Amino acid sequence: MVFRVPSVVKHESFFFSRLVNSFFYSVVTTLGGMMTQVRFLTLTLFLCSIQVASGQELDRSIENALPSLLETYRTLHANPEISYYEEKTASFMAKELRSLGFAVTERVGNYGVPNRTCYGVVAVLKNGTGPTVMVRTDLDGLPMDEKTGLPYASTVRTKNETGEEVGAMHACGHDIHMTSLLGTARMLVQLKDRWQGTLVMIGQPAEERGAGAKAMLNDGLYTRFPKPDFAVALHDNATLEAGKVGVTEGFALASVNSVDMTVRGVGGHGAYPHTTKDPVVIASEIVLALQTIVSREVSPLEPAVVTVGAIHGGTKHNIIPDEVHLQLTVRAYKEPVRRTILAAIKRIAEGIAHSAGVPGDRFPIVRIDENEFTPSTYNDPLLTSRLRTTFEAALGKDNVVTVDPVMGGEDFGRFGLDGKVPACIFWLGAVDPKKVEESAAAGTPLPSLHSSQFTPLPEPTIRTGVKAMTSAVLELMKK
Ligand SMILES: [Zn+2]
Ligand SMILES: [Zn+2]
């Protein structure tokens, strides 16, 4: 079937003017009022039918592409690569995008770490004069064993940076993101006469380490390649039904800092505690006192989290150890809040050690790895509401839901350059609607992202991902 979309768009504006004319005509005319109303109705119906037809054309193209996209998804799912090792995944993405006519550059990114290659992919498709829109997917899987029992489950074993053997799983659904991006690329190439401007599609590594976006920006993502007027991404959601998308305006995801603390005491025999400075007791007091940062030092109106996720110390019942190690995650939306929390952690740790009589040269060591720091993600309100309207038109109002902000983290936020580039990441429902219903009825939570049991429902998820992202880009780059 030949249904030339560009002519539809031109016709659409032509008929809009006809519509306006006919409206005024109906005001001034003194005869044939009935006729004018009929004309108005006919034109309105005609306009609607054009929109439905172009929507149907996209639907048909997506259905045609779905079998091979699902094949791509299963291949990516079965072959995950963990952060910093996305070599094959990146070259697969590069090859696919090149075959669609994109100018592709590989290995974009610089971690600033010797011998660590950054596998960033940048694909550019120029299509006349217009805005530059960047669509991002992440590439990395997680170091964990998959326990979904799926026929295409990953059985990959690999080594991490410290040489430890680990499993690998796309437990955050970055395989869904990649497949949706490739599907979107295919649709936009097919619909080239419906948009104009420069499309930049990127594959970003090391999202799970909060390092990839920064590495790509540091390596000239916005200077060697066209700087976007808009940056868009999607992330699958482990509680939202497949077929739906979720939208959050403003702060959507939190900043993330990992903090390592070594609480040092003076070890000795468990029977003679008075001759020691017990780091187990000191660390315990620190853990509890850290909880007062959010409750007493941060405004109740500002979201913040301080979680001590790991505490390790000692070897035996009757030995007071020399050290205890704590691992913390710190989350916030606003930069001053983040700084307040980090300063308070250090002050509280040192203060408690001091009060326990630990000498100054044995105060806790607090390490904050700013290399793996992830800033918060702010969804530009204007862009987000524009996309919401687009999604509602493409997917139906019932399939677009408002999602509350979360304290999870995403380094996509970096691409917004603190508000200089309007950016928006939206949620893509990935769960079998039956499972969502069952979980609500039974009150049992669904497997979350990063769970070894996380089992997205590929077909409706990818269909919706491609449709939502293609519609978003068409809206931002429409002729
Ligand atoms: Zn993740
Ligand atoms: Zn993720």
Residue pLDDT, tens place only, 227-254: 999 999 999 999 999 999 999 999 999 9
For β-strands 250-253 and 377-379, DSSP reports them as antiparallel
pLDDT of residue 46: 56
pLDDT averaged over every residue in the chain: 91
Alpha carbons within 13 A on the beta-carbon side of 403? 28
Domain with residues 256-372, CATH architecture: 2-Layer Sandwich (3.30)
Question: What burial letters (b/e) apply to 143-165, b meaning 16+ CB within 10 Å?
Answer: bbebbbeeebbbebeeeeeeeee
Q: Using the mean position of ligand 1's atoms as its centre, give its distance from the Cα of residue 37 in Å.
A: 55
- The span from the CA of 241 to the CA of 280, in Å, is 45
Q: How many other β-carbons are positioned within 10 Å of the β-carbon of residue 45? A: 10
The ligand placed nearest to the CA atom of residue 169 is: 1
- Percentage of residues of the chain with pLDDT beyond 90: 86
pLDDT the model gives residue 384:
98
Q: How far is the CA of 351 from the centre of ligand 2 (A)?
A: 37
For residue range 140-176, what is the model confidence (pLDDT) as tens digits? 999 999 999 999 999 999 999 899 999 999 999 999 9
Query: Which pLDDT belongs to residue 290?
Result: 98
In this predicted structure, what is the pLDDT of residue 372? 72
What residues contact residue 355 under an 8 Å CB cut-off, 6+ apart? none
Q: Confidence class of residue 43 from pLDDT cuts 50, 70 and 90?
A: low
The pLDDT of residue 191 is above 60? yes
Written as one string, the DSSP assignment of 32-65 is: -HHHHHHHHHHHHHHHHHHHHHHHHHHHHHHHHH
Range from 3-7, 136-140, 418-422 carrying the lowest mean pLDDT: 3-7
SS3 (DSSP) at 249: coil
Task: Say yes or no to pLDDT of 339 above 80.
Answer: yes
Of the pLDDT bands very low, low, confident and very high (cuts 50, 70, 90), residue 26 is very low
Closest CA to 201 of 124, 132, 126, 138: 124
Mean pLDDT calculated for residue range 126-142 = 98
CA distance 345 to 341: 6
Cα(348) to centroid of ligand 2, in Å?
33
Q: Do 146 and 180 contact (CB within 8 A), yes or no?
A: no
Prediction pTM value: 0.85
> Which ligand is nearest to the Cα of residue 428, counting in written order?
2
Per-residue pLDDT for 50 more than 80?
no
**How many whole angstroms from 462 Cα to the centroid of ligand 2?**
16
Catalytic residues: 138, 208
Is residue 171 within 8 A of residue 237, CB to CB? The reply is no
Cα–ligand 2 centroid distance for 459 (angstroms)? 19
Q: Helix or strand or coil: residue 194? A: helix
Q: State yes or no: pLDDT of 296 exceeds 60.
A: yes
In the chain, where the domains are located: 56-254+376-476, 256-372
Quickly state the pLDDT bin for 34 (edges 50, 70, 90). Answer: low
Eight-state DSSP code of residue 407: S
Token duo for residue 385: 């509401």
Task: Output the CA 429–ligand 2 centroid distance in Å.
Answer: 13
Q: Are β-strands 365-368 and 165-167 bridged in parallel, bridged antiparallel, or unpaired?
A: unpaired
Cβ atoms of residues 416 and 380 within 8 Å: yes
CATH number for the domain whose boundaries are 56-254+376-476: 3.40.630.10
Task: Give the integer Cα–Cα distance in Å for 217 and 380.
Answer: 19
Distance (angstroms) between ligand 2 centre and the Cα of 256 equals 14
Tens-place pLDDT, residues 97-110: 999 999 999 999 99
The pLDDT of residue 62 is: 98
| Nearest ligand, CA 177 | 2
What's the whole-number mean pLDDT along residues 430-448? 97
Using 50, 70 and 90 to split pLDDT, how confident is the model at 52? low
**Ligand nearest to C-alpha 236:** 2
